[in-house]
Amino acid sequence: MANHTPIWEVFVRAKNGLSHRHVGSVHAADASGAVQAARDVYTRRSEGVSLWVVPSGAITASDPGDADALFAPAEDKVYRHPTFYVVPDNVKHI
Protein backbone atom coordinates (compact mmCIF):
# COMPACT_ATOMS: atom_id res chain seq x y z
CA MET A 1 0.00 0.00 0.00
CA ALA A 2 1.34 3.36 -1.08
CA ASN A 3 0.97 5.17 2.25
CA HIS A 4 2.47 2.32 4.27
CA THR A 5 6.20 2.52 4.84
CA PRO A 6 7.51 -1.00 4.12
CA ILE A 7 8.27 -3.42 6.99
CA TRP A 8 11.70 -5.04 7.33
CA GLU A 9 12.56 -7.96 9.56
CA VAL A 10 15.72 -7.34 11.58
CA PHE A 11 18.42 -9.91 12.41
CA VAL A 12 21.33 -9.18 14.74
CA ARG A 13 24.63 -11.03 15.12
CA ALA A 14 25.44 -10.65 18.82
CA LYS A 15 29.15 -11.31 18.24
CA ASN A 16 31.33 -12.95 15.66
CA GLY A 17 31.07 -16.71 15.91
CA LEU A 18 27.28 -16.60 16.41
CA SER A 19 24.51 -16.61 13.79
CA HIS A 20 22.28 -13.64 13.08
CA ARG A 21 19.09 -13.95 15.09
CA HIS A 22 15.65 -12.44 14.47
CA VAL A 23 14.91 -9.61 16.93
CA GLY A 24 11.87 -7.81 15.50
CA SER A 25 10.99 -5.44 12.70
CA VAL A 26 11.26 -1.80 11.64
CA HIS A 27 9.60 0.45 9.09
CA ALA A 28 11.73 2.20 6.46
CA ALA A 29 11.38 3.47 2.92
CA ASP A 30 14.46 1.56 1.72
CA ALA A 31 17.12 -0.93 2.81
CA SER A 32 19.71 1.59 4.00
CA GLY A 33 17.04 3.42 6.01
CA ALA A 34 16.04 0.08 7.52
CA VAL A 35 19.63 -0.61 8.63
CA GLN A 36 19.79 2.82 10.30
CA ALA A 37 16.44 2.31 12.03
CA ALA A 38 17.44 -1.20 13.14
CA ARG A 39 20.67 0.19 14.59
CA ASP A 40 18.74 2.77 16.65
CA VAL A 41 15.96 0.45 17.75
CA TYR A 42 17.76 -2.84 18.41
CA THR A 43 21.41 -2.10 19.26
CA ARG A 44 21.44 0.75 21.79
CA ARG A 45 23.38 -1.35 24.31
CA SER A 46 26.05 -3.19 22.32
CA GLU A 47 23.65 -6.01 21.40
CA GLY A 48 25.37 -6.70 18.12
CA VAL A 49 28.24 -6.40 15.66
CA SER A 50 26.26 -6.92 12.46
CA LEU A 51 22.72 -6.33 11.18
CA TRP A 52 20.63 -7.90 8.44
CA VAL A 53 17.37 -6.38 7.24
CA VAL A 54 15.05 -8.36 4.98
CA PRO A 55 11.81 -7.12 3.41
CA SER A 56 9.12 -8.75 5.49
CA GLY A 57 7.30 -10.02 2.42
CA ALA A 58 10.42 -11.83 1.18
CA ILE A 59 10.21 -14.40 3.97
CA THR A 60 8.36 -17.61 3.18
CA ALA A 61 7.36 -19.49 6.31
CA SER A 62 5.98 -22.97 6.84
CA ASP A 63 2.30 -23.14 7.74
CA PRO A 64 1.72 -23.96 11.44
CA GLY A 65 -1.18 -26.15 10.23
CA ASP A 66 1.38 -28.37 8.51
CA ALA A 67 3.56 -28.66 11.61
CA ASP A 68 2.49 -32.25 12.33
CA ALA A 69 3.07 -33.44 8.80
CA LEU A 70 6.44 -31.72 8.65
CA PHE A 71 7.90 -32.37 12.07
CA ALA A 72 6.08 -35.28 13.71
CA PRO A 73 7.77 -37.99 11.58
CA ALA A 74 11.04 -37.21 13.37
CA GLU A 75 9.54 -38.17 16.73
CA ASP A 76 9.47 -41.95 16.12
CA LYS A 77 13.01 -42.07 14.72
CA VAL A 78 14.79 -42.24 18.04
CA TYR A 79 17.53 -44.33 16.38
CA ARG A 80 18.83 -41.04 14.98
CA HIS A 81 20.09 -40.14 18.45
CA PRO A 82 23.28 -41.61 19.93
CA THR A 83 21.55 -42.45 23.22
CA PHE A 84 19.46 -45.07 21.37
CA TYR A 85 22.49 -47.39 21.31
CA VAL A 86 23.57 -49.28 24.40
CA VAL A 87 27.31 -49.63 24.75
CA PRO A 88 28.92 -51.52 27.67
CA ASP A 89 30.34 -49.32 30.45
CA ASN A 90 33.86 -50.62 29.96
CA VAL A 91 33.95 -49.45 26.36
CA LYS A 92 35.37 -45.90 26.33
CA HIS A 93 35.59 -42.94 23.96
CA ILE A 94 32.44 -43.71 22.02
Partner 1 sequence: MYTVDYANTRDARAAPIEDAGRLAAFEARVAADDFIEPKDWMPETYRKTLIRQISQHAHSEIVGMLPEGNWLTRAPSLRRKAILLAKIQDEAGHGLYLYAAAETLGVSREEMTEALHAGRAKYSTIFNYPTLTWADMGAIGWLVDGAAIMNQVALQRTSYGPYARAMVRICKEESFHQRQGYEAMMVLAAGTAGQRRMAQDALNRWWWPSLMMFGPPDDNSPNSAQSIRWRIKRETNDELRQRFINATVPQAEALGLTIPDPHLKWNEAAQRYDFGPIDWEEFYAVVRGEGPTAKDRIQARIDAWEDQAWVREAAMAHAAKTAAKQAA
Strand partners, 54: 9
CA atoms within 13 A on the CB side of 23: 22
Of residues 19, 44, 73, 78, which one binds partner 1 by CB under 8 A?
A: 44
Using CB under 8 A as the binding rule, the residues of this chain from 51 to 80 that contact partner 1 are 56-57, 59-61, 63-65
Beta carbon of residue 40, minimum distance to partner 1 (angstroms, whole number): 7
Of residues 15, 18, 29, 50, which one binds partner 1 by CB under 8 A?
A: 29
The whole-angstrom separation of Cα 48 and Cα 3 is: 31
Q: Is 33 exposed, middle or buried (0-12, 13-18, 19+ CB in 10 A)?
A: middle
Q: What residues make contact with partner 1 under the rule CB under 8 A?
A: 1, 3-5, 7, 9, 22, 24-30, 33, 40-42, 44-45, 56-57, 59-61, 63-65
